[in-house]
Amino acid sequence: GENVEQHPSTLSVQEGDSAVIKCTYSDSASNYFPWYKQELGKGPQLIIDIRSNVGEKKDQRIAVTLNKTAKHFSLHITETQPEDSAVYFCAASTESRAGNQFYFGTGTSLTVIP
């Protein structure tokens, strides 16, 4: 099955700096890569996603890049703000006869220091 690895597990940045979180996946059949933000005690919230036919996608201060050859994808947050502090999860999804399954990384705890 798919194996998703995520680094780093913790990340601290100064407010206004950029943050980068990286994930690798093992199954070349994976074709959809979402990123989720989870605040304490809440469910994960989808913040951005990318499909395998696209190399980069941007939404305001958030961007995701995908390198299919190397099987890795990254989340970039620019001009970080204290409210960006949360746990971020990457995931890879593979279509199957039984439908899409999602495989998650172990999460990155981001702290933005004011």
Partner 1 sequence: DGGITQSPKYLFRKEGQNVTLSCEQNLNHDAMYWYRQDPGQGLRLIYYSQIVNDFQKGDIAEGYSVSREKKESFPLTVTSAQKNPTAFYLCASGQLYEQYFGPGTRLTVT
Q: Which amino acid is at 46?
A: L
Residue 7 sits in the site that holds partner 1 (CB under 8 A): no
Contact 19, 35 (CB under 8 A): no
Residue 98 sits in the site that holds partner 1 (CB under 8 A): yes
What is the DSSP pairing of strand 108-113 with strand 10-14?
A: parallel
Closest separation in Å from C-beta 98 to partner 1: 5
Per CB under 8 A, the segment of 16-24, 61-69, 72-80, 104-112 that binds partner 1 is 104-112
Contact 94, 2 (CB under 8 A): yes
Q: Quick one: 15 or 39, whose CB is closer to partner 1?
A: 39
Taking the C-alpha atoms of residue 60 and residue 56, their distance in angstroms, rounded to an integer, is 13
Q: Quick one: 64 or 105, whose CB is closer to partner 1?
A: 105
Q: Quick one: 5 or 15, whose CB is closer to partner 1?
A: 5
Residue 99 sits in the site that holds partner 1 (CB under 8 A): yes
With tokens 């990155």, the residue in question is: 108
Taking the C-alpha atoms of residue 48 and residue 74, their distance in angstroms, rounded to an integer, is 11
Residues 29-68, mask of contacts with partner 1 (x by CB under 8 A): ---x-x-x----xxxxxx--x-x-----------------
